[in-house]
Amino acid sequence: FASGSLDGVKLVITAGPTIEAIDPVRFISNHSSGKMGFALAQAAIDAGASVTLVAGPVHLATPERCQRINVQSAEQMLQAVNEQLDSCDIFIGCAAVADYRPATVAEQKIKKNDDSMSITLVRNPDIISVVAKHQPRPFCVGFAAETENLIAHAQQKRIRKNLDMIIANDVANSAIGFNSDNNAATLITAQGEHSLALASKTQLARAAIAHIAQQFKAGNKP
């Protein structure tokens, strides 16, 4: 890990969950803690980058010297990311974006009158895929949380989303991932794979940022 390896580089990172409103008091969300994205932001700052963190609702302190934009929904996250793209060199999509949102948001609190109810959900935009199509196109890094065939599924996801790198996480293993303080991962590019052994999210983030900096400078294409 070389401090200064990202001097003058602008990095945008999404982190945490998104929450999708059902009515004024209810929402759909997930268990993402934001820890990995915040650790990556800190590591990138330590490497000299200028970092903007677009964060869903999480209980984490903002890293020092980091610009933080708080959002709630996937649509808000996409808008905040879009506003950063003209000057972005590296984009890391670490957020656990909700795949679907309620088709309509009830204006008033929904009453429990019926024995059952259903909510129609519609697809959310895929933020990282939008980023990977943007011109100028930043170096794009995504995450793949998989429960089986980790490497193959992650590699397919990298190609489908047109990413330079995907960080594959085995979420079948409860010792790592989501709310845990530890993580292990495999970094996959078009050139090959690079495994990072089980470590704290802080240590893992530093190793991942070192590898991202190296690949970014190599200028390899997805």
Return binding residues for CTP: 93-95, 99, 109, 125-128, 143, 157, 161
Cβ closer to ligand C5P: 47 or 95? 95
Could you say whether residue 126 binds ligand C5P (CB under 6 A)?
yes
Cβ closer to ligand C5P: 49 or 128? 128
135 exposure class (CB count in 10 Å sphere: 0-12, 13-18, 19+): exposed
3-state secondary structure of 37: helix
Pick the binder of ligand C5P from 11, 12, 36, 74 (CB under 6 A).
74
Residue linked to tokens 């196109």: 137
What is the distance between the alpha carbons of residues 98 and 73, in angstroms, rounded to a whole number? 8
Pick the binder of ligand C5P from 38, 91, 139, 143 (CB under 6 A).
143
What is the distance between the alpha carbons of residues 56 and 98, in angstroms, rounded to a whole number? 11
Query: Interface with ligand C5P by CB under 6 A: which range of 109-117, 139-147, 170-178, 208-216?
Result: 139-147
Could you say whether residue 37 binds ligand C5P (CB under 6 A)?
no
Cβ closer to ligand C5P: 46 or 164? 164
Q: Hey, how many other C-beta atoms are within 10 angstroms of the C-beta on 163? A: 27
DSSP 17: B
Q: Is 30 a catalytic residue?
A: yes
